[in-house]
Amino acid sequence: MNISILVFGGDHFLATLPDRLRDASTFSVEAIANVNQAVSRIQIKPPDVIVVQASLDGSMELCRWLKEQTKLSWIYCILVEDTPELLAFKSQFGREWELEMTCAALRQGADAYIWQQPKQKTDNPPAEETANEQLLLAHLSVGLRKAQKYRDLVRTNDLLTAISLADSLTELKNRRALDGDLPRHIQKARSSETPLSLIILDVDYFKKVNDSYGHLVGDRLLQLLSHRLRHNLRFGDTPFRYGGEEFVIVLTNTTCDEALLVARRLNRVVSEQPFAINNKLAINVTISVGTACLQPEDDTKGTSLLERADQFLLQAKAAGRNRVIGCSRNMFRKASHLQAVS
């Protein structure tokens, strides 16, 4: 893994760092000497390790700020003490004073605090790395391990999140995913002033399938239905398994009338061809569908939108099943007219 290093320091400080830091196959190094620019860079593209020049204005503030950021606190911060006065005090006051300064730096936010006499660059061949340079490289190795563990944790969390939001049977998003996605779709539709609709559909007489053929056949039927729905939706339409044999489809940039057209097409796609469970069994099923479109008075979570679509679904089932009922543009025009008359 190529480790990303941000050096908060000047050009002279950068030149005193170990030569091995310039190995492009191992390290990607960038130097910034302004604290505000460093903060912006960290927020946009967090590095794995930060090497901080202690004598530079804002150095300790940068370390403290970094550890206060929960999402960035994993970044390994190495504070390199190069202040001439403190380096002089170090030799004067001895080991105990050095340890006190180190403890203070660690308490304030640094992960490592290294006392380093700046190395003077000459035209002579490079000498062996000093003990302080070896210590700095050792801390870089610690930072690399920490960054790798963080990346592994992020990947694991992403995987667990994906599992928690997916329906294991149909491989569609589940109801929990809908609870998170629908408010975002509503916010985006309102901010961009675009229409938003959704469909709720239910498999007609699904209980008879389970009672007649068993739950394994019922599960296989739901898998085949999900596959057929998914491959007959438009780009941007998102299907969810809402629960049992009930599904929700969020239709972005879709008006009431367009949602009815999509629902009727899905109703036809499901009913026109049997579902082949195996070589010996094919089952004909139909669906009942309710549609609804986002209105200004709907809540931000989508509860009222879902409830309205569900009411239309109940009407479709009560009217004999295998049909689509939903709101239309004319319906809302009529409602607005009645409200104005009253």
Residues belonging to the active site: 245
Tokens 């004073």: give the residue: 97
Which H helix or E strand runs over 290? strand 287-293
d(CA 151, CA 55): 32
Give the list of residues 6+ apart from residue 289 with CB closer than 8 angstroms, or none. 199, 200, 201, 202, 263, 264, 266, 267, 313, 316, 323, 324, 325, 326
Amino acid 176 reads R
d(CA 191, CA 188): 5
CA neighbor of 306 nearest in space, from 129, 166, 117, 178: 178
Give the list of residues 6+ apart from residue 2 with CB closer than 8 angstroms, or none. 25, 26, 27, 28
d(CA 135, CA 115): 10
Q: What are phi and psi of 26, to 5 degrees?
A: -115, -40
Tokens 């979570």: give the residue: 301
Are 52 and 59 within 8 A, CB to CB?
yes
Are 253 and 313 within 8 A, CB to CB?
no
Tokens 């006065």: give the residue: 85
Tokens 């409200």: give the residue: 339
Whole-Å CA distances, 340 to 297, 329, 334, 337: 16, 17, 10, 5
Q: Give CA angle at 307 (303, 311), nearest 5°.
A: 175
